[in-house]
Amino acid sequence: MAMALTGARIFTGDAFLDGHAVVIEGARIKAVVPEAETGGMTRRDLGGGLLAPGFIDVQVNGGGGALLNANPSVDTVRTIATSHRRFGTVGMLPTVITDAPQVIAKAVASVARAMAEGVPGVLGIHIEGPFLDGARKGAHAARFIRGMEEADADAIAGFAMYCPVMLTLAPNRVAPALVRRLTQAGVLVSLGHSEASFVEARQALDAGARSITHLYNAMSQMTGREPGLVGAALTDAESYVGIIADGHHVHDAALKVAFATKPASRMMLITDAMPTAAGGPDSFELQGRTVTRSNGRLSLPDGTLAGSDLSMDAAVRYCVTTLGMELGSVLRMAALNPASFLRCDHELGRIAPGHLASLVLLGDDLRVKATWINGQ
CA within 13 Å, CB half, 290: 7
Contacts for 116 with CB less than 8 Å, ≥ 6 apart: none
Alpha-carbon Rg for the chain in angstroms: 20
Catalytic, 272? Answer yes
Query: So what's the pLDDT on residue 1?
Result: 82
Q: How many CB atoms lie within 10 A of CB 295?
A: 7
CA–CA separation, 267 vs 141, rounded Å? 28
Greatest C-alpha distance within the chain: 66
Instruction: Name the pairing type of β-strands 9-11 and 16-17.
Output: antiparallel
- Whether residue 40 is predicted with pLDDT greater than 90 in this model: the reply is no
**Which of the four pLDDT bands, split at 50, 70 and 90, describes residue 39?**
confident
Domain ranges of the chain: 3-52+353-372, 55-341
Q: Which CATH superfamily is domain 3-52+353-372 in?
A: Urease, subunit C, domain 1 (2.30.40.10)
Assigned CATH topology for domain 55-341: TIM Barrel (3.20.20)
Of 245, 250, 243, nearest to 214 by C-alpha is: 243
- Whether residue 361 is predicted with pLDDT greater than 90 in this model: the reply is yes
Query: So what's the pLDDT on residue 239?
Result: 98
**Which of the four pLDDT bands, split at 50, 70 and 90, describes residue 118?**
very high
List strand residue ranges (DSSP E) for 184-234, in order: 188-191, 211-212
Query: In whole angstroms, what separates CA 325 from the centre of its chain?
Result: 19
Specify the long-range contacts of residues 203-207, CB closer than 8 Å, at least 24 apart. 203/171, 203/176, 204/171, 204/174, 204/176, 204/179, 205/232, 205/236, 205/238, 205/239, 206/176, 207/176, 207/177, 207/179, 207/180, 207/183
Beta bridge partners, 273, equal 60, 308
Query: So what's the pLDDT on residue 172?
Result: 98
**Which of the four pLDDT bands, split at 50, 70 and 90, describes residue 258?**
very high
Please, are residues 202 and 238 in contact by the beta-carbon 8 Å criterion? no
CA–CA separation, 214 vs 231, rounded Å? 14
Q: What is the mean pLDDT of the chain?
A: 97
Question: Does the predicted model carry a pTM greater than 0.95?
Answer: yes
Please, are residues 335 and 327 in contact by the beta-carbon 8 Å criterion? no
Catalytic residue among 57, 133, 246, 272: 272
Instruction: Name the pairing type of β-strands 240-243 and 267-269.
Output: parallel
Contacts for 169 with CB less than 8 Å, ≥ 6 apart: 129, 131, 132, 148, 179, 189, 190, 191, 192
Q: What is the phi-psi region of residue 208: left when phi exceeds 0, alpha when psi lies from -120 to 50, beta otherwise?
A: left
Share of the chain above pLDDT 70, in %: 100
Query: So what's the pLDDT on residue 340?
Result: 98
